[in-house]
Amino acid sequence: MRMHSFGELRTHLRTLRLLGVFRFHIDYDKCVVSSTHSEDRVARFYLWGVLWILLNIQTYCTYMPQHFFMVNYNATGNCYALINIRTCNVTTVLIYTMLYVRRCRYARLLETMLRLNRASRDLQSSSLYGTHLTLFVLCMINYGHGYWRAQVRPTSIPIYLFQYGFSYMLMGQLVVLFVSFQRIVLSSLRCYNRKLLGSRQLSRECREFYEDFRDYNQIIRLCHEDIHDCFGLLLLPITGYVLVTTPSGPFYLISTLFEGLFRTPWRFAFTFLTCVFWSMPWVTLLVLAMGTTNVQREVSRRCLPHPLISNQYAYLAN
């Protein structure tokens, strides 16, 4: 793999490491992922620290809901805002706990993907990490301006920003990593398709052909079993929360502008832009997570008329 793509994957993993997940010792030269006692202790420290903070926020929201009310919001908007932050809190706790409990599975998958990342040669450049950071900054500016304009208590605005900021960074990095793994699998499939075509031109029964086809099948199994097993349970709560929080933009629009609270033209314009971009970062995560890739198309290519290949494609199609 090209160094700039490998460096971007390394940046993903370093960011997740700073968030307290994927606390492993990674040897990028040998593509080996191991869990040491020191990393286990740090991972547990992060787990209990994050859970303690999030559970305190949940308790605060439960017993002091009036501290999170917005003066420029109607009763329906404030009720939905409380539901939204509580749902975000519970979803983050669930995802963070799941990442720690299943960390050994993620270590094995990560080691496999690092090896594929090094072996594949047909790669496309990606800027998903930069896109996600841009959306994160937009999200924080949007929330800060929106809650300030809605006259939230000054002590509650940092809680809002921490809850949504940490949750968006964690969920977003996981989605970006999932998409990056899909691209690595796609690159590996293309690489082995070319190898199989070259082997077929030499001999249908050559040993190299069957070795390449065996590796090709292992990549398909990796895609259909390991990746889906690790990320399927993560994407489910992420998707559910994004669907819950998506209407927050229209709610903010209805509860502020449509109530006639901002009559000055420039305030009206800024508040309208805040409403428009309120849910866009979360919706972008949903599009990335649910977006189609070319992996299925690459698997379905009938470029090899060998009987064994034809039977394998027929099995995958069913």
**Nearest CA among 158, 160, 159, 165 for reference residue 137:** 165
Q: How many domains does the chain have?
A: 1
Position 4 scores a pLDDT of 44
Q: What is the pLDDT along the chain (318 residues), one digit of tens a residue?
A: 344 445 678 888 889 999 998 888 888 888 888 888 888 899 999 999 999 999 999 999 999 988 888 876 777 778 888 899 999 999 999 999 999 998 888 888 888 888 887 766 545 545 788 888 989 998 899 888 888 877 888 899 999 999 999 999 999 999 988 888 888 877 777 776 776 666 655 555 556 666 666 666 667 776 667 788 888 888 889 989 998 888 887 777 776 666 555 567 767 777 777 777 888 888 888 888 776 566 666 666 644 444 444 444 444 444
Q: What is the pLDDT of residue 316?
A: 41
Q: What is the pLDDT of residue 179?
A: 86
Name the residue range of residue 177's domain.
3-317
With CA atoms as reference, report the closest residue to 116 among 192, 65, 53, 48: 192
Which pLDDT score, from 0 to 100, does residue 44 have?
A: 92
